Chains A and B, each alone.
Chain A
């Protein structure tokens, strides 16, 4: 059973990224309206905006959380050529700061001369490091030498990838030297592979390119290593035309798993549509990929490493007017009659048929159809049987 609850953010422009904190209890959103919002979930599983502030003077592309070991720290990157580090501090704030909560800017990283397209903190085992990449093809790795003073960030290295960068991902594996995969949105197929992998060499104290994936010739818009839970290989998902899944076997023979050698890339079919964003679940078993055709597809691999789409989420294309919820104000649940129009009801919660199946794609040949048959629900058909939950107008 799928249940969707709407949360009305008051971003004035498109949201570009949503990032969960380490525990999944906080969320940050960023938008073209130059602002970042921070949301907290309460015991009743309702999200409340606790801070909203202007972070940049251009579209904010990405926002990301540092590990809580380093405090409550966010990094954002923007079209305004900057990346910024934000830290939440305890204490009272003045009225004028209220909207910003307790978030203060610790540092601005101004090294890029073009739009900064992605920003990611390193896995915790590498300390507090930050990688950014920008449209002019530079990848920069920063390090906070003093964890108790986040105003100072030193550039550890700067890599010129020679192709405009759109995205990057740290390899989460602890058994590996620090590794970053960088994707490029360069559209010229002749410009070479659009994914490059860099590895940090402790001895040389620099980052070296270990491979360029020549098979990826189309523009890449997102890239993500899967969380590794004891697998003997790394898995990298690449959002290009369709999604490509690459496997990299580790050298360490002590790892558990099957015999190495099946490194052929797997193509996840989005009918050739451009895929823009991908996201792994925390155990690295399901991938969500969103593409040009307006669909978000959930992919899962079975035991033969056969990937199967187990669920599609898509918009209905309607323009249901979401009710406004002001940040810092409690979301209130309303029941049917208090909503403005019955036709809007389905907009606040719709569910696919009860016991619609979230299938185990471990068995690739079994039908994921629901017991009760209806494969999908349109708002009209479910309005009668769904709970109506919405947020009140304030």
Chain B
């Protein structure tokens, strides 16, 4: 128990007074906590009295974030690139046949590795960039180390799981793997050669040995040939060793050679090596003797060269090359274990060792498991697991809540990106490829995307439309509408409102427009109101607004009869707010003043009736209690005057209409 407890990582926050006031924490978006001192205890202690503490220092809130790996410029690029590879991989495997699948998967794997190497290169540059501050440089250096390891693991997994060549003979690929990642010899050789005159130093021989250990005999021979001693090679030792190296048989899956044939040749060749040692051909050429001992597969020479031979997995490859070149992939684990025991000894296995061992043991779950708990990086496990899943290497490990391991990892990866706001489009695509819980996460996430601009809101809405997330789309429209209203942009608010089909909000906005009209005598956002079309039906008030605007247009166009009819129907339909009734009736006044009679006697009496109703309302208790106190005296006077004018106009019109009608009949 005590052991376990110690294993929980601790993060110390320098907080003043945390002893007395304790700490509390609230989650933000993604992996972010706001930690502050002071918590419920104080509240509880307050009990009956509320005592002030009056801190001598201002209180502090700590913005704690972690798993920020993907938030640096170099890794952001990696996130973007790998997202591209990820999506095309998903698309590809859904319509690939078995035959074409494997070579394609290898290509995808290599693309991931290229992206990693680019990232590594950028990190290296950043780490040595003096413009970066020291702490960042330190971070970049550590990240370099991490990504180097990740690439090493990925490459091995690619060889073992994605590429796995027929026949299972794997040595050549392992040699390439070592060659690609351990370039000490190249660095040494390049330096020696660049110095012009070849200086036979310790470094020179180190370079030669490493080449031989890595099976890069061509390079070794090249370096040897530059040795000035080859010029006066009286005993022919240099020529001998060169010959040996040149003639070493190499097995290739693509050659027509059979395994048995190769085996025979290889045994022959190594016997020659051994014989030369027995004959003592290189006795007076110590370095050449060492080379020959390597070639002959002698174990003790590896012990001597341990400093150059590298880590256990490099030694394993060397050993296999010179003792068991036809080793099958499935047998690697035994060799790995023995090399590890021999060269690691009792020292604690690092996560990298464990992961490589698990890979050689074909234990995919274990690779993912150790990587995810040790490499502080969900990017790696999520993408690797996905690739292995497509290669059919990932057992569909049903988790308790039904998601596969792949989905679990993808969700975790997506959640580490969430703290970074600009990643939202990438996150959506990852969530989309999580069949079980992805949809739920997507729904939650889409709503949480901050909408700084209309443009972004439209982008997010488009995604909602594509994915049939109506509820979320509606919510986004409401948020945007509310914001526009707050900023007093009524037209924009109405546009958003119509999209979300929010009736009560539409009513509210229509009223706002009408109020605006009653204050200024004109409408803003005419375009919008004139082109409402059928969307005006969302709310009665909005319908009224649109129709009322129609009336204005008819009037302006001189269609008085139609305008009058529309006005009357608007007044009769009672769609308008009560307070607006007087404005409507007043609008009738100019029509009454025209030379032609617009309203018939019947219509006029209807108008009169409405006027009477309004008058009644003015005298009602509701009006005198709630509305009258809010109106200024002048306003009330004006209203009274308007009513009188109306009375006059209407009665005059009535007489004119009656006269005209009687003439007609």
Binary flags per residue of B499-524, CB closer than 8 Å to A gives 1, else 0:
00000110010000000000000000
Interface hits, B57-72 → A, CB 8 Å: 57-69
Interface hits, B1-21 → A, CB 8 Å: 6-19, 21
Choose among A2, A319, A346, A378 the residue that contacts B65 (Cβ–Cβ < 8 A): A2
Are A14's CB and B37's CB within 8 A?
Answer: yes
Choose among A313, A335, A354 the residue that contacts B25 (Cβ–Cβ < 8 A): A313
Q: A176: CB under 8 A from chain B?
A: no
User: Considering the chains assembled together, what is the distance between the CA atoms of A386 and B53 in angstroms?
Assistant: 34
Are B26's CB and A19's CB within 8 A?
Answer: yes
Q: Is the interface of A mostly helix, strand, loop or mixed?
A: loop
Are A1's CB and B437's CB within 8 A?
Answer: no
Choose among B66, B450, B475 the residue that contacts A3 (Cβ–Cβ < 8 A): B66
User: Considering the chains assembled together, what is the distance between the CA atoms of A205 and B23 in angstroms?
Assistant: 41
Q: A96: CB under 8 A from chain B?
A: no
Determine the chain A residues whose CB is within 8 A of the CB of B622 once the complex forms. none
Q: A20: CB under 8 A from chain B?
A: yes
User: Considering the chains assembled together, what is the distance between the CA atoms of A362 and B415 in angstroms?
Assistant: 15
Known: A363-B369, A375-B7. A59 touches B50 (CB 8 A): yes
Known: A124-B475, A277-B25, A335-B133. A27 touches B34 (CB 8 A): yes
Known: A20-B28, A59-B46, A296-B25. A317 touches B136 (CB 8 A): no
Per the CB 8 Å criterion, the residue count for chain B at the interface is 110
Are B135's CB and A386's CB within 8 A?
Answer: yes
Interface size bracket, A side: 35 or more
Are B59's CB and A31's CB within 8 A?
Answer: yes
Determine the chain A residues whose CB is within 8 A of the CB of B351 once the complex forms. 371
Instruction: Name the CB-closest residue of B to A297.
Output: B8
Are A324's CB and B18's CB within 8 A?
Answer: no
Determine the chain B residues whose CB is within 8 A of the CB of A305 once the complex forms. 400
Are A290's CB and B39's CB within 8 A?
Answer: yes
Q: B175: CB under 8 A from chain A?
A: no
Known: A24-B28, A280-B27. A294 touches B60 (CB 8 A): no
Choose among B23, B350, B508 the residue that contacts A314 (Cβ–Cβ < 8 A): B23
Determine the chain A residues whose CB is within 8 A of the CB of B44 once the complex forms. 166, 185, 219, 221
User: Considering the chains assembled together, what is the distance between the CA atoms of A25 and B55 in angstroms?
Assistant: 28
Known: A258-B401, A288-B25, A355-B376. A317 touches B18 (CB 8 A): yes
Are B39's CB and A354's CB within 8 A?
Answer: no
Of B482-490, B562-570, B575-583, the segment with at least 4 beta carbons within 8 Å of chain A is B482-490
Determine the chain B residues whose CB is within 8 A of the CB of A147 once the complex forms. 504-505, 508
User: Considering the chains assembled together, what is the distance between the CA atoms of A9 and B9 in angstroms?
Assistant: 28
CB distance from A155 to the nearest CB of B (A): 21
Interface hits, B471-492 → A, CB 8 Å: 475, 478-479, 482-483, 485-488
User: Considering the chains assembled together, what is the distance between the CA atoms of A320 and B13 in angstroms?
Assistant: 10
Are A4's CB and B135's CB within 8 A?
Answer: no
CB distance from A8 to the nearest CB of B (A): 5
Known: A358-B67, A371-B374. A321 touches B400 (CB 8 A): no
Interface hits, A3-20 → B, CB 8 Å: 3-20
Are A18's CB and B17's CB within 8 A?
Answer: no
Are A22's CB and B142's CB within 8 A?
Answer: no
Are A385's CB and B57's CB within 8 A?
Answer: no
Q: B441: CB under 8 A from chain A?
A: yes
Are A256's CB and B8's CB within 8 A?
Answer: no
Binary flags per residue of A310-353, CB closer than 8 Å to B gives 1, else 0:
11111111111110100000000001000000000011011010
CB distance from B579 to the nearest CB of A (A): 16
User: Considering the chains assembled together, what is the distance between the CA atoms of A386 and B352 in angstroms?
Assistant: 25
Are B135's CB and A387's CB within 8 A?
Answer: yes
Known: A2-B11, A229-B440, A368-B373. A12 touches B41 (CB 8 A): no
User: Considering the chains assembled together, what is the distance between the CA atoms of A360 and B351 in angstroms?
Assistant: 15
Are B400's CB and A9's CB within 8 A?
Answer: no
Are B437's CB and A359's CB within 8 A?
Answer: no
User: Considering the chains assembled together, what is the distance between the CA atoms of A178 and B39 in angstroms?
Assistant: 29
CB distance from B56 to the nearest CB of A (A): 9
Q: B364: CB under 8 A from chain A?
A: no
Are B8's CB and A311's CB within 8 A?
Answer: yes
CB distance from B446 to the nearest CB of A (A): 12
Q: B459: CB under 8 A from chain A?
A: no
Are B401's CB and A303's CB within 8 A?
Answer: yes
Are A69's CB and B482's CB within 8 A?
Answer: yes
CB distance from B412 to the nearest CB of A (A): 6
Determine the chain B residues whose CB is within 8 A of the CB of A16 once the complex forms. 38-40, 42-43
Q: B436: CB under 8 A from chain A?
A: yes
User: Considering the chains assembled together, what is the distance between the CA atoms of A229 and B10 in angstroms?
Assistant: 29
Are B57's CB and A314's CB within 8 A?
Answer: no
Determine the chain B residues whose CB is within 8 A of the CB of A312 once the complex forms. 8-11
CB distance from A150 to the nearest CB of B (A): 12
Q: A367: CB under 8 A from chain B?
A: yes
Q: B225: CB under 8 A from chain A?
A: no
User: Considering the chains assembled together, what is the distance between the CA atoms of A33 and B57 in angstroms?
Assistant: 13
User: Considering the chains assembled together, what is the distance between the CA atoms of A10 and B55 in angstroms?
Assistant: 10
Determine the chain B residues whose CB is within 8 A of the CB of A31 once the complex forms. 38, 59
Binary flags per residue of A372-394, CB closer than 8 Å to B gives 1, else 0:
00011111000001111000000
Could you show 9 A-B contacts with beta carbons less than 8 Å apart?
A4-B11, A14-B59, A15-B37, A24-B450, A230-B440, A314-B18, A320-B14, A366-B374, A370-B374
Residue positions of A touching B, CB distance < 8 A:
1-20, 22-25, 27, 29, 31-33, 47, 58-59, 61, 67-72, 79, 88-91, 115, 117, 124, 147-148, 166, 185, 219, 221-222, 227, 229-231, 256-258, 274, 276-277, 279-283, 285-286, 288, 290-292, 294-296, 303-305, 309-322, 324, 335, 346-347, 349-350, 352, 354-360, 362-363, 366-371, 375-379, 385-388
Residue positions of B touching A, CB distance < 8 A:
6-19, 21-44, 46, 50, 52-55, 57-69, 133-136, 138-139, 142-143, 146, 350-352, 369-370, 372-378, 399-402, 408, 411-412, 415, 418, 421, 436-437, 439-441, 444, 447-450, 475, 478-479, 482-483, 485-488, 504-505, 508
- Besides the contacts A20-B26, A377-B11, what 10 more A-B pairs have beta carbons closer than 8 Å? A6-B62, A22-B448, A230-B439, A230-B441, A274-B41, A282-B27, A322-B57, A354-B139, A359-B373, A378-B12
- Top 5 A-B pairs ranked by shortest CB distance? A315-B18, A387-B135, A24-B29, A14-B38, A230-B440
